[in-house]
Amino acid sequence: MTRTDLNIGLFGFGVVGQGLHAVLARTPGLRARIGRIAVKNRGKARSLPAEVFTYDKNDLLSDPGLTVIVELIDDADEAYLIVKEALLRGKAVVTANKKMLAEHLPELIEIQQTTGTPLLYESAACASLPVIRNLEEYYDTDLLESVEGIVNGSTNYILTAMHRDAQPYAAALARAQELGFAESDPALDVEGLDARNKLVLLLAHAFGAVVAPAELLAVGITSISELATAYAREQGLIIKLVAEARRLPGGGLAAAVLPTLVRPGHELAQVHDEFNGLITQSTFADRQFFLGRGAGAFPTASAVLSDLSALTYGYRYAYKKIHQNAHLVLAPDAAEVDVLVTFDDASGAPDRADFVAVHQEFRSAQRGNYLTGTIGLGQLARASWLRAPGVCVVRLASPLRAAVAVPAALEEAAVA
């Protein structure tokens, strides 16, 4: 197959954009060059000559000499307009914007299929880990049973500092921001929304299920209590923010992002600081583990570089699993999960009727209160107490699984 030279129009010249420029300079064999760069801030000092930059996106989108658009800006709404227009104009696109992709994936897939123009986004999930293309090409969905992992480097850095260095949450977050692993407004990361956006992409390429972010339960790390942290330490466990998608019997899928207790021997227990880790489980390949940096200029730029290299050979996602697996649907009410719930006297105890079973309860005026139990995944997402002040929910060290029962109160309601 003949390789194609790439002339790139780059949107954004921040940390990752500068990293990509540096990486391309060190990989001349790729035969790719940045022809023009669109930026927003006119007053910011730049490391390249002024004539390379423009402040008008149309200078890139309408330039027939630029064959590839690389989008690396932090505005998801503007990124959507840029990516959509580029695809409609027949320009291949590489993007790292997981929020934009998750919110517009069905439309962007349709545009690709209509125009035949490729959109690649390896860097949008797990940065340096080669995840998307492996899920798309290597694993047959009939054999793939689950994917689970730590997919957000910012929260993993914070949780590592809280566990290993016994830092309080606020101090760990401040340090992550100082190092550039967390934004000045860290809500997307710490509330689990960034991991949820990445889980949307993993579901599409692992199982062919295209879902909206709002369909997935996401609980972040902001409500992790001192009692939950103490419980983990006393049990010899580690709290990690884990995104998981699992095939259920009967054609359903269970998927969620939850703080999770991880055993010391588990692969994810070895994923520290800003690193990401992803585990795949399949029938014949069994269990495989990907580990790599999930944040930073060069790790993300390396994934962009991989996509650019794939474009030189005419690669595009075929989304075969979407067409092959219409029977695979998100089914939170067919799944259940074991959880630890801590709560204070002001927030009140969670409703026991929501649980399939309550296994253990503890109450202390000094330390606080908790219970452990099994609850339907859909019921957990609907629980009125889930996001109440003073309530912390952490998944116990067991995977999502098919529901085997429903709470008695729900059975009675269904009969009535």
Residue 396 has pLDDT above 80, yes or no: yes
Band of pLDDT at residue 326, cut at 50, 70 and 90: confident
For 78-136, the pLDDT digits (tens) are: 999 999 999 999 999 999 999 999 999 999 999 999 999 999 999 999 988 999 999 99
331 and 187 within one domain: yes
For 125-148, the pLDDT digits (tens) are: 998 899 999 999 988 777 899 999
341 and 204 within one domain: yes
pTM of the complete model:
0.94
170 and 109 within one domain: no
Q: What CATH number did the domain enclosing 245 receive?
A: 3.30.360.10
Of 66, 92, 120, the one marking the end of a domain is 120
Answer for the pair 139, 281: CB distance below 8 angstroms, yes or no.
no
Q: Measured in Å, how far apart are the chain's first and last C-alpha atoms?
A: 65
54 and 138 within one domain: no
Q: What pLDDT does 412 receive?
A: 44
Band of pLDDT at residue 406, cut at 50, 70 and 90: low
Residue 416 has pLDDT above 60, yes or no: no
Q: What pLDDT does 409 receive?
A: 43
Of 64, 99, 120, the one marking the end of a domain is 120
Q: Which residue has the higher pLDDT, 260 or 328?
A: 260
Band of pLDDT at residue 405, cut at 50, 70 and 90: low
Domain membership of residue 77 as a residue range: 6-120
Q: What pLDDT does 415 receive?
A: 41
Backbone angles phi, psi at 138, to 5 degrees: -85, -45
For 237-277, the pLDDT digits (tens) are: 999 999 999 999 888 999 999 999 999 999 999 999 999 99
377 and 238 within one domain: yes
Which amino acids are annotated catalytic? 198
Band of pLDDT at residue 69, cut at 50, 70 and 90: very high
344 and 226 within one domain: yes
Backbone angles phi, psi at 97, to 5 degrees: -90, 90
**Number of domain units in the chain:** 2
Q: What pLDDT does 177 receive?
A: 87
91 and 28 within one domain: yes
368 and 222 within one domain: yes
105 and 215 within one domain: no
